[in-house]
Amino acid sequence: MINVTKTYMPDKAKYLAYVDQIFESGWVTNNGMLVRELEARLADYLGIKNIVLVANGTIALEIAYRLLKLDGEVITTPFSFVATTSSLVSNALKPIFADIDPKTLTLNPDNIEDRITDKTSAIVPVHVFGNACEVDRIQAIAEKNNLKVIYDAAHAFGVQYKGESLLNHGDVSTLSFHATKLFHTIEGGALIINDDSLVEEARYLINFGIDGRDSVKALGTNAKMNEFEAAMGLCVLNDMDKVLHDCKVIYDFYESSLCDILTLPIDNLHSSKNYSYFPALFKSEQQTLDVQSALHENGIYPRRYFYPSLDTLPYIIDAEKMINSQTIASRILALPLYPGLSREEQVNIISIIRKKMNIIIMRPNILK
Ligand SMILES: *Cc1c(COP(=O)(O)O)cnc(C)c1O
């Protein structure tokens, strides 16, 4: 069985060496040594100032909303993983969708300003599939209207924008380190905070709002990462060069083998790629479903990332219909992409797709 992604497992002996360390210290959670080490190493690796590790990417978004004191309405993209929207709703914030650019699949800044009201407190865009949003234009709109910007950067690990970390844009960017993501800590996530003065508050918000020993300063929650997760992160971080290289090789082979029959999203010109997803756009929903079932028959499970469009979620009431997002969601598949996917498996996936689309002639690079 081949899935859209597969958890990267680092060297077991190296992980067990960390486990020995944890058993010796007896310190398993609550801002332990390994969590602090991982924070320092990630800040250095990513080229960012302030990082706070948390239990998952969803709670990272929720903490960001509380940290920036959002209320009322939040303008966001309908084309993302469900957590971008559900985290707003479960924090009593009203998502107001603004449609995506159908070429880049990111929130189109042209659609934001119309939707700003006196209740709007923030914009929550997503660097979907690691493709950078138009951060400069979004920042200008936010400044003009006094809004906060929180980027759901769950897909944007390691992405550079104009030569520096993309994560330095917005008031806060959030990451997910779930096992299915490019870089992972089993379960985990992070807040990248631009304003130094908010870091301390984020640290007590993730620990029930407790500041010091006996004082509760604010309404917090439990969002802590534990030492076993941090140990996994330290191991995976050591291997990131290889992970990124392998993903790029697989991505490039899909691209050169399928670009004549599929449409791919257009990349932001100022941004680098991390090659963590291969989203492929088909001509119609029927063709998408046909290809999906042909792959299923062969034990290959791409995912309809991202489907459904979030304006159609059952708990969203009276949303304006997001035409671009709904159309894209109906005809997109993310193809299997992970370190360890063999060339042979990839050739098989490509030929099943071409056969189903009746374009059996292979591009020459496959015949090699
Ligand atoms: C994975 C993901 C999340 C949620 O992260 P978890 O760590 O699974 O909670 C949020 N947003 C996007 C865009 C994601 O892909």
Name the band, by pLDDT with cuts 50, 70 and 90, for residue 212.
confident
Q: Residue 211: pLDDT band by 50, 70, 90 thresholds?
A: confident
Beta strands in the chain (DSSP E): 2-3, 51-54, 73-76, 94-97, 120-124, 148-152, 160-161, 164-165, 172-176, 189-193, 210-211, 215-216, 278-281, 300-301, 332-335
- Cα(246) to ligand 1 centroid in Å equals 22
pTM attached to this predicted model: 0.96
Which residue out of 7, 59, 81, 85 has the highest number of ligand 1 atoms within 8 Å of its CB and is therefore the one to mutate? Answer: 81
C-alpha 153/C-alpha 138 separation (Å) is: 15
- Residues 291-301 have pLDDT tens digits of 999 999 999 99
For residue 99 and ligand 1, the question of a CB distance below 6 A is answered with no
Q: What is the pLDDT of residue 362?
A: 63
193 CB neighbour count, 10 Å cutoff:
25
* Confidence grade of residue 147 (pLDDT, cut at 50, 70, 90): very high
| Contact 229 CB / ligand 1 (< 6 Å) | no
Is the beta carbon of 185 within 6 A of some atom in ligand 1? no
Cβ contacts of 339 within 8 Å, gap of 6 or more:
8, 242, 243, 246, 247
Distance, CA 166 to ligand 1 centroid (Å)?
A: 17
Q: Which atom of ligand 1 is nearest to the CA of 58?
A: 9
Q: Where are the alpha helices (DSSP H) in 29-113?
A: 33-46, 57-67, 83-89
pLDDT in tens, 167-176: 999 999 999 9
pLDDT higher than 80, residue 279: yes
Which protein residue has the closest C-alpha to ligand 1 atom 7? 57
- Give nearest CA residue, ligand 1 atom 2: 154
Residue to probe by mutation, ligand 1, list 176, 182, 185, 229, most atoms within 8 Å of CB: 176
β-sheet bridge partners, residue 281: 263, 332
* Mean pLDDT of all residues belonging to the chain: 96
The predicted model gives 1-15 an average pLDDT of 96
Residue 80 Cα: closest atom of ligand 1: 13
Per-residue confidence (pLDDT) for residue 85, from 0 to 100? 98
Name the one residue in this structure whose structure tokens are 């802590």: 224
- Residue 318 banded pLDDT, cuts 50, 70, 90: confident
Sorting pLDDT into bands at 50, 70 and 90, what band is 363?
low
Q: Say if residue 253's pLDDT is above 60.
A: yes
Residue 137 Cα distances to 4, 142, 293, angstroms? 33, 9, 40
Percent of the chain residues topping a pLDDT of 70: 97
Instruction: Answer whether 154 contacts ligand 1 (Cβ < 6 A).
Output: yes
The whole-number average pLDDT for the span 184-195 is 98
Give the pLDDT band of residue 209 (cuts 50, 70, 90). Answer: very high
pLDDT, tens digit (0-9, with 9 covering 90-100), for 263-276: 999 999 999 999 99
Give 365's pLDDT tier (boundaries 50, 70, 90): low
Average pLDDT for 45-57? 98
Q: What is the mean pLDDT of residues 159-172?
A: 98
- The continuous run of DSSP H or E covering 12 comes out as helix 12-25
Band of residue 214 on the pLDDT scale cut at 50, 70, 90: confident
Give yes or no for residue 176 CB within 6 A of ligand 1: yes
Please tell me the predicted confidence (pLDDT) of residue 50.
Answer: 98
Q: Quick one: DSSP state of residue 269?
A: T
Q: What number does the ligand 1 atom closest to the CA of 87 have?
A: 10
In angstroms, the CA 76 to CA 88 distance is: 10
The pLDDT value given to residue 360: 60
Question: Does the structure show a pLDDT above 50 at 105?
Answer: yes
Structure confidence at residue 366 as a pLDDT band (50, 70, 90): low
Q: What is the DSSP letter of 138?
A: H
Q: How far apart are CA 170 and CA 149, in angstroms?
A: 5
Q: Which pLDDT band holds residue 213 (cuts at 50, 70, 90)? A: confident
Distance 150 CA to ligand 1 centre (A): 14
Mean pLDDT of 330-355: 97
Which run of H or of E encompasses 294? helix 285-297
